Amino acid sequence: MTRFDIRGLFRSSHETFGDRLNVGRDLAGLEFSDLAVAANVSERTLRAWEAGKGNIDGQSLEKVAALLDVSPTWLLTGEGVGPQAQNENSDMINFMRWELERLTRLHQETAEMIDMLHRQIGDLEQNASF
């Protein structure tokens, strides 16, 4: 059995602006709606930034960085002052919870797709037998 390197995954999860924005928001304990209102942007815009779509303007970058208690440079490049978690273990626990939630959603979506395909195959087979 292969050992999974959660620490390596955690480090690699901070590679993009969207990743760092997501981690900063999670560690700050802010929901999308809370950060969007505080930063005076739409929730849709915030979700797009976290997904790596769209560009953040300088004023919004400064505001979001201040709300997350990180430097704008860290948000953009990963260098500089990042989120101040209690300790590395709490960072790891938060990241593992986030990963578990993400994988659970993927699992549920996969199960729904499998059920849909089974139903469609059944419908096609039933129609073909007439």
117/106 same-domain check: yes
**Which pLDDT band, with edges at 50, 70 and 90, does 125 fall under?**
very high
Cα–Cα distances (Å) from 13 to 32, 93, 121, in that order, read 19, 14, 39
Domain that holds residue 55: 8-84
- Average pLDDT, rounded, for the chain: 84
Give the pLDDT confidence score for residue 2 in this predicted structure.
Answer: 46
Q: Is 129 part of a structural domain of the chain?
A: yes
Q: Is 3 part of a structural domain of the chain?
A: no
Contact 60, 41 (CB under 8 A): yes
**Which pLDDT band, with edges at 50, 70 and 90, does 83 fall under?**
confident
Mean pLDDT of 89-115: 88
Give the pLDDT confidence score for residue 86 in this predicted structure.
Answer: 46
- Please check the confidence at residue 100 and state whether its pLDDT lies above 60: yes
Does the pTM surpass 0.85? The reply is: no
72/113 same-domain check: no
**Which pLDDT band, with edges at 50, 70 and 90, does 57 fall under?**
very high
Give the pLDDT confidence score for residue 113 in this predicted structure.
Answer: 96
80/90 same-domain check: no
